[in-house]
Amino acid sequence: MTAFALKDIAEFVPILAQGALVTIEVFVCGLIVATALGLLWALLRVSGVPALAGFSKALINTIRGIPILVQLFFIYFVLPDVGIQMTAFQAGFIGLGFAYSCYMAEVFRGGIEAVDPGQVEAAKSLGMSQAMTLWRVVLPQAFKIALPPYGNTCIMLIKDTSQASIITVTELTFQSKVIAASTFKNAEVFTLVALFYLLLCIPLIMVVGRLEKRFGRS
Amino acid sequence: MSRLFRLFALCLVFVGSLASAQTTLRIGSTPTGVPFTFLDTKTNQISGVMVDLIKEIGKDQGFTADVNAMAFSALIASLQSNKIDVIAAAMYITPTRQEVVDFSDPIYTYGDGLFVAAKDTKDYKSYDDLKGEIVGVQIGTAYIKPLQASGLFKEVKVYDSIPDIMRDVNLGRIKAGFGDYPIVAYQLSQGAFPETRLAKNYKAAVVGSVGLAVRKGDKATLDKLNAALTKFKANGTIDRILATWNLK
């Protein structure tokens, strides 16, 4: 690498770092929305109430059937026509959070349904209510089962934040596009951006691995 | 039998090479740079001043112009990575760009235009009138640096295309937008963004000339383009094309 390339790196890294910060913000906000809503949809789906389960199933399948990019376009460009205005950042994390909630719902549902039904029957025979069974017996075990796919989905989410660049959220990918368009140094910029994403993802992967070791199935 | 086959193959190659005497140059243009380059939804073709020009040059110099649409910010990258041979778009000849591509002779000169919400009746004359506001500009244009360097604005938001900027001005997400004056004027005259207006008394901060661009060192193509341009400037073809699009 020539000294000239090092000069470019010194110039680009601060701008990309700002973008990385926004990426993390979108990721965290989106993750909170996705986890909360995902848990809700999953519980609705296994609730046993046909109306709720049907609604949840329909929602999950519809949202999973539309590309996240298209959903982001909708939220940012189309909703204002019906009066729902929000900033790019809000549209970004709400859009990603909502889309990912449907994938999370399936992850949670898989965990819940994988818990041995015998446990549920045993809890019932002990006189536990459905809510208590869920809280005390099912969810703790479902958590362990769902942890690996949940972690996997988190890692996917952090990279999918790059899609928010298309609705002008100033995250990492967006910043790289702007730098590349004005300096034409595509090789340097996009290599740096790839490294940045790796730097963001690898700690996440390690954290998920640690959690699995601690809480997961032995 | 194999000798016959070889002879046949040789004939094909010969004929093929004759056929390709009419070369095709891949042209890069944008779909939203009306009237310079834009996607005409009626014909589903990329049309405009620069497209008409490059096609005329093609007729004059003996090549077929195969026009491809792409984002403005992708044009130079595509040229450098050999995905296109010529950029025919509303692209200023600037020193920064001249470091990476070669430009033809200048074709048309204009400056940036400022547009704001129609409800906003303030008389904007320069950057100073927008101090502390959020403004929008297109990615990859020569307008970004001066705006950012001025330090006057709360934020300089970067967009993919001028219609995107106009949409956000319409929605009130940003106070004002900057774009090529002819493109902005044309968009507004077509009635696409009724809640947006041009600041009539705004003095352009960045004036430049557009030109066609080729890969650095592609002298053969550049000479063809310049030869045709010189001819067209003399015989009025350029003026004719500009007049068709109300630019003269």
User: Domains along chain A?
Assistant: 3-215 (1.10.3720.10)
Low-confidence ranges of chain B (pLDDT < 70): 1, 11, 13-21
Contact status, residue A104 vs residue A36, Cβ threshold 8 Å: no
Angle subtended by helix axes A139-160 and A3-45, to nearest 10: 140
Query: What distance in Å separates residue B38's CA from the closest CA in chain A?
Result: 20
From the list A178, A161, A167, the residue with the least C-alpha distance to B156 is A178
Strands B23-29 and B86-87: parallel
The whole-number pLDDT of residue A132 equals: 85
Q: Evaluate whether B10-107+211-244 and B110-207 have a shared fold.
A: yes
Chain B within 8 Å of A15 (Cβ-Cβ)? no
Chain A within 8 Å of B182 (Cβ-Cβ)? no
| DSSP states of A32-93 | HHHHHHHHHHHHHHTSS-HHHHHHHHHHHHHHHTS-HHHHHHIIIIIGGGGT----HHHHHH
Closest in A85, A87, A177 to B73, CB measured: A177
pLDDT, one tens digit per residue, over B67-97 is 999 989 889 989 998 999 999 999 999 999 9
Domain boundaries, chain B: 10-107+211-244, 110-207
The whole-number pLDDT of residue A10 equals: 87
The whole-number pLDDT of residue A131 equals: 82
Contact status, residue B121 vs residue B242, Cβ threshold 8 Å: no
The whole-number pLDDT of residue A99 equals: 97
pLDDT of A161 > 80? The answer is: yes
The whole-number pLDDT of residue A217 equals: 60
Q: Name every chain A residue with its beta carbon within 8 A of the beta carbon of B96.
A: 182
Instruction: Kindly provide the ipTM of the predicted complex, given to two decimals.
Output: 0.70
Angle at A44 between CA A108 and CA A73, to 5 degrees: 75
- CATH assignment of B10-107+211-244, among 3.90.230.10, 3.40.190.10, 3.40.120.10, 3.30.70.3270: 3.40.190.10
Q: What is the domain class of B110-207 according to CATH?
A: alpha beta
The whole-number pLDDT of residue A139 equals: 87
Residues 96-135, chain B: which have Cβ within 8 Å of A?
A: 96, 99-100
CA atoms within 13 A on the CB side of A86: 18
Q: Name every chain B residue with its beta carbon within 8 A of the beta carbon of A175.
A: none
Angle subtended by helix axes A3-45 and A186-215, to nearest 10: 40
Residue of B nearest to A178 (CA): B139
The whole-number pLDDT of residue B55 equals: 95
Cβ-defined contact of A168 to B73 (cutoff 8 Å)? no
Q: Kindly report the pTM of this predicted structure.
A: 0.80
The CA distance from A19 to A11, in Å, is: 14
Cβ-defined contact of A184 to B77 (cutoff 8 Å)? yes
Tell which of A73, A78, A165, A168 to mutate to test the B interface (max B CBs under 10 Å): A168
